[in-house]
Amino acid sequence: MIMKNAFSRRKFMGGFALAAGYFSLQSDTGLLASPPSELGPDGRPLSPDAFDKLAKLSFNENPYGPPESVLKAMTGAMKYANRYGYPDGGIVQAIADHHGVGKENVLLAAGSTEILDVVDETFLEGGKKVLGVEPTFATVYEFALGLKANAIRLQLLPDHRQDIPAMIQAARENQQDLGFVYLVNPNNPTGVIVTKQEVRQLLDGMPEGVPVLIDEAYHHFVESPDYETSIPYVKEGRPVIVARTFSKIVGLAGMRLGYAVAPAALITRMRAHAIASINAIVKWGGVAALRDTEAQARCKAVTLQLRKQTTAELTGLGYTVLPSEANFFMVHLRRPAKTVIGEFRQRGILVGRPFPPMDDYLRVSVGNADEMARFLAAFKEILPVSGSTATTKPG
Ligand code: PLP
């Protein structure tokens, strides 16, 4: 069983790096407008130097990398690089303690992407459907497609919030075929939150026993008092699976570490589908990262400050920006984003791919101060100022 799943998963995607390439290929002009970041505009691999010089604002990564404490822990764990069996720093217990749950409530994975895959494999068996919104982090839908399962994708509300009453209604109407519901909070690519009242409304409105996967990849960046993590619902024993990642606030995207917190019975079912091939180094890094709350606070502060500064400038230029609570934001360009992605790329700046049906919005990750300055300078060159609809200026 595990071998079969391992095979199908690798065959279908093999990981987030590959998945990112897959999305580029998928979107109509994605490949031309936004080649994978490791390739140059001519489609040939970039040298590491050329790659380093790019302002990487396309994958909502952490531009600072892991903090000192995490680097130190990972360096210390290098001595286990040659081992299959080794002390792992107690990573699962550390996560359990962090959330006040038991080890049986935690499933460790090679990034939260693996959790999304595992949830699909566990709950979509027999042609069941996943229900969520569009646009959102589409990996769950893409994996479902690979399993020959279907997705019910609901539109966002006009103000770009997720439509909770519509989700409840769709869940009830599709109760027989529904595998699980997917809620990204804050949502990617919009950055918009689902309030704590709405999450409760959703969970209270679900048909009995339908699992709800709540993806909290950007949890650490939220300021709004209307938002809350959904971990307490797991403690209540509701069929809620919370996915978390070390890729964003801690800056370990390339090292691949994430996890799920869920009731033990769900974790047991999911574990049968997990490969969880996680390296020794990042396990120690993860333990150190959970302890270093000061580093997380510093990363949050600088990210939010740069997001607010950048979005204020864009607003000043006459552009509307969605109210993001994450380390990225969406700006309404009033023209297809795909027409400008290449122009940013020519200036050495990678910005988000198109997110249909929000074709006129550009998603921009919050990089460091230098990257945001480069982004704004390029934006002013590429796009017209103050509400005019003039065509793109020559670059
Ligand atoms: N979930 C969401 C909402 C994301 O935006 C991302 C990555 O961008 C992921 C999950 C995947 O994160 P990881 O690096 O842990 O696989």
* Atom number in ligand 1 closest to CA 114: 16
Cα distance between residue 335 and residue 65, in whole Å: 34
pTM here? 0.90
Cα distance between residue 14 and residue 141, in whole Å: 15
Q: How far apart are the first and last CA of the chain?
A: 54
Residue 272 lies in a domain: yes
| pLDDT at residue 375, as a whole number | 98
pLDDT single digits (tens) 257-272: 999 999 999 999 999 9
Residue 388 lies in a domain: no
Those residues whose C-beta lies under 8 Å from the C-beta of residue 387, and which sit 6 or more positions away, are 318
Same domain, 61 and 147: no
Q: Which residues pair with 55 in a beta bridge?
A: 349
Cα distance between residue 362 and residue 337, in whole Å: 5
CB 113 within 8 A of CB 133: no
Three-state DSSP at 109 gives: strand
- Residue 188, ligand 1, Cβ within 6 A: yes
- Residue 180, ligand 1, Cβ within 6 A: no
Number of domains in the chain: 2
Q: Is 134 exposed, middle or buried (0-12, 13-18, 19+ CB in 10 A)?
A: middle
The CATH number of residue 253's host domain is 3.40.640.10
* Atom number in ligand 1 closest to CA 16: 16
- Residue 253, ligand 1, Cβ within 6 A: yes
CB 132 within 8 A of CB 142: no
Cα distance between residue 273 and residue 154, in whole Å: 28
pLDDT single digits (tens) 178-210: 999 999 999 999 999 999 999 999 999 999 999
* Atom number in ligand 1 closest to CA 60: 8
pLDDT surpasses 90 at 363: yes
pLDDT single digits (tens) 284-342: 999 999 999 999 999 999 999 999 999 999 999 999 999 999 999 999 999 999 999 99
The CATH number of residue 329's host domain is 3.90.1150.10
Specify the residue for token string 């994605």. Answer: 30
Cα distance between residue 351 and residue 307, in whole Å: 15
| pLDDT at residue 381, as a whole number | 97
| pLDDT at residue 40, as a whole number | 75
Cα distance between residue 28 and residue 47, in whole Å: 27
- Residue 245, ligand 1, Cβ within 6 A: yes
CB 213 within 8 A of CB 241: yes
Same domain, 144 and 250: yes
Domain residues for the domain of 308 are 27-65+294-382
User: For ligand 1, atom 2, which residue shows the shortest CA distance?
Assistant: 217
How far is ligand 1, taken at its centre, from the CA of residue 146, in Å? 18
How far is ligand 1, taken at its centre, from the CA of residue 377, in Å? 29
* Atom number in ligand 1 closest to CA 187: 3
